[in-house]
């Protein structure tokens, strides 16, 4: 039987290690909800019995390679007046940094992905250890692996004092089968790069990965007559490492947009979903399209390998002498696009070729006009021949 356990959100942007003191804090087994799920809640100790982070770091250098491993080092100082007999450690990793080891005194779970949002893995570990007041302790290094599509991952550390971990389903919770995770009295000093001196309950590490991504656009080559309505099947494709799609929680700063410009001799009749007109003062007008991936609260939407979005614009050819200069391109500040593996496919032309005359109903000297004129000439010629024939017979 799979037991469902609910944990509250720490913040989906980061991985977190959370520490709880045993004398004044405990993790309830929880009570079943109406759906049979269990809720895990943390009882809040007083401020005097809190643990603060004084060490947080990792190995592996500034930028890591795909497939490599790293070890996260975390340490804490206890500010209580009574000795702790037990500590609970909560680990939370973003999806590009899976655990390489599952400890026997930890329960693990992974968040089910919904749509494009970034997922995460968590572990809740119960460590039997005595911690004296004022003592500093270090966790055994936590080993993580850099995933295939990792790019910018996060690891955080925080004290869970006063936090309620209910809410948010983690359906595949299971117990680790390896050796237990340990917490030991600190010997020696903390390396300068790992020191945390602000006395906060939480901290965060950002892990940068040497990985590639490519954002490409597809243009269009259209042929038609004056007055004809056509569909320009433009598109955006993404390949490579996971890329954060929105840079703020309000969905107002996408990583990039797609800019579309049509020639002056073309009129846009229908704008596709996720697109809107740019500066209304611009002539000819241009259009900005987004990819329709949005954040919800602390969730992070990602552009993932294989992502595809179509932008079908309906247009009409109005002036066959002004059909040059159409383009579609990835629009973002230059510094964001420097990491694009193939910048050459970030821009594509939109071309038009005029054929024949005007379309039906467009007037002018198009095909319909020539047909009408030809028919009228044929009727007139037939009338002249008939008159000549009657005169000849009359003679």
Domain containing residue 344: CATH number: 2.60.40.290
Give the tens place of pLDDT for each residue, 274-284. Answer: 999 998 777 78
195 and 242 co-located in one domain? no
Give the tens place of pLDDT for each residue, 49-82. Answer: 678 889 999 999 999 999 999 999 999 999 989 9
Is residue 205 situated within a structural domain?
Answer: yes
Cα–Cα dist 41/127, whole Å: 18
338 and 262 co-located in one domain? yes
Give the tens place of pLDDT for each residue, 109-137. Answer: 887 777 788 888 888 888 899 999 999 99
Contacts for 11 with CB less than 8 Å, ≥ 6 apart: 156, 298
Is residue 89 situated within a structural domain?
Answer: yes
165 and 203 co-located in one domain? yes
55 and 204 co-located in one domain? yes
126 and 254 co-located in one domain? no
Residues 248 and 102: beta-carbon distance below 8 Å: no
Of 210, 236, 256, the one marking the end of a domain is 210
Residue 44 clears pLDDT 60, i.e. is over it: no
Contacts for 48 with CB less than 8 Å, ≥ 6 apart: 79, 80, 81
Total domain count, the chain: 2
206 and 217 co-located in one domain? no
Nearest C-alpha neighbor of 291 from the set 329, 260, 339, 246: 246
The total number of residues shown for the chain amounts to 395
Cα–Cα dist 215/300, whole Å: 19
pLDDT tier at 160 (50, 70, 90 boundaries)? low
Residue 366 clears pLDDT 60, i.e. is over it: no
Is residue 382 situated within a structural domain?
Answer: no
Residues 112 and 119: beta-carbon distance below 8 Å: yes
197 and 217 co-located in one domain? no
Is residue 367 situated within a structural domain?
Answer: no
Overall average pLDDT of the 25-45 stretch: 36
Q: What pLDDT is attached to residue 340?
A: 97
Overall average pLDDT of the 267-275 stretch: 96
Is residue 47 situated within a structural domain?
Answer: yes
Is residue 368 situated within a structural domain?
Answer: no
Domain at 149, CATH number: 2.60.40.1510
Select the more confidently predicted residue: 381 or 279. 279
Select the more confidently predicted residue: 17 or 240. 240
Q: What number of CA atoms fall less than 13 Å from residue 339's CA on the CB side? A: 17
253-263 burial: b if 16+ Cβ within 10 Å, else e: ebbbbbbbbbb
Overall average pLDDT of the 131-156 stretch: 94
Cα–Cα dist 123/102, whole Å: 9
Is residue 36 situated within a structural domain?
Answer: yes
User: Over the chain, what HEC string results?
Assistant: CCCCEECCCCCCCCCEEEEEECCCCCECCCCECCCCCEECCECCCCHHHCEEEEEEEECCCCEEECCCEEEEEEEEEECCCCCEEEEEEEEEEECCCCECCCCCCEEEEECCCCCCECCEEEEEEEEEEEECCCCEEEECCEEEECCCCCCEEEEEEEECCCCCCCCCEECCCEECCCCCCCEEECCCCCCHHHECCCCCCEEEEEEEEECCEEEEEECEEEEEEECCEEEEEEEEEEEECCEECECCCCCCCECCEEEEECCCCEEEEECCCCEEECCCCCCCCEEEECCCCCCCCCCCEEECCCEEEEEEEEEEECCCCCCCCEEEEEECCHHHHCCECCHHHHEEEEEEEEEEEECCCCCCCCHHHHHHHHHHHHHHHHHHHHHHHHHHHHC
Cα–Cα dist 161/47, whole Å: 8
228 and 279 co-located in one domain? yes
Is residue 366 situated within a structural domain?
Answer: no
Of 210, 229, 251, the one marking the end of a domain is 210
Note down the domain range covering 305: 213-358
218 and 205 co-located in one domain? no
Residue 165 clears pLDDT 90, i.e. is over it: no
199 and 250 co-located in one domain? no
- In angstroms, how far is CA 234 from the centroid of its own chain? 21
Residue 183 clears pLDDT 70, i.e. is over it: yes
Supply the mean pLDDT for the chain: 79
47 and 115 co-located in one domain? yes
163 and 221 co-located in one domain? no
């Amino acid at each position: 039987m799979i037991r469902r356990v609910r944990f509250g959100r720490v913040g989906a942007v980061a991985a977190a290690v959370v520490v709880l003191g045993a004398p004044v804090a405990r993790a309830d087994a929880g009570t079943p909800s109406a759906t049979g799920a269990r809720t895990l809640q943390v009882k809040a100790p007083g401020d005097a019995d809190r643990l603060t982070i004084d060490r947080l770091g990792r190995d592996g250098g500034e930028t890591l390679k795909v497939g490599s491993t790293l070890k996260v080092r975390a340490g804490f100082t206890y500010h209580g007046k009574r000795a702790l007999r037990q500590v609970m450690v909560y680990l939370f990793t973003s999806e590009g940094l899976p655990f390489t080891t599952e400890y026997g005194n930890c329960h693990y779970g992974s968040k089910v992905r919904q749509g494009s949002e970034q997922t995460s893995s968590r572990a809740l570990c119960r460590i039997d250890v005595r911690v004296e007041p004022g003592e500093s302790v270090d966790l055994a290094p936590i080993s993580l692996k850099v995933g295939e599509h990792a790019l910018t991952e996060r690891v955080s550390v925080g004290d869970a004092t006063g936090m309620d971990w209910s809410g948010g389903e983690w359906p595949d919770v299971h117990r680790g089968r390896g050796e237990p995770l340990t917490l030991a009295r600190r010997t020696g000093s903390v390396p300068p790069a790992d020191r945390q001196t602000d006395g906060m309950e939480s901290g965060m590490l950002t892990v940068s990965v040497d990985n590639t991504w490519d954002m490409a656009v597809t243009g269009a080559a259209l042929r038609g007559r004056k007055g004809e309505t056509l569909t320009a099947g433009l598109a955006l494709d993404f390949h490579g490492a996971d890329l954060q799609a929105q840079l703020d929680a309000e969905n107002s700063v996408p990583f990039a947009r797609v800019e579309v410009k049509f020639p002056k001799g073309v009129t846009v009749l229908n704008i596709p979903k996720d697109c809107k007109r740019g500066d209304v003062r611009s002539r000819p007008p241009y259009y900005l399209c987004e990819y329709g991936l949005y954040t919800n609260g602390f969730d992070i939407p990602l552009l993932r390998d294989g992502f595809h979005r179509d932008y079908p614009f309906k247009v009409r050819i109005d002036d066959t002498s002004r059909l040059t200069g159409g383009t579609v391109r990835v629009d973002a500040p230059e510094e964001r696009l420097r990491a694009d593996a193939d910048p050459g496919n970030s821009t594509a032309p939109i071309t038009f070729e005029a054929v024949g005359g005007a379309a039906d109903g467009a007037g002018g000297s198009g095909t319909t006009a020539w047909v009408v004129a030809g028919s009228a000439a044929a009727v007139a010629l037939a009338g002249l021949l008939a008159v000549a024939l009657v005169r000849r017979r009359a003679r």
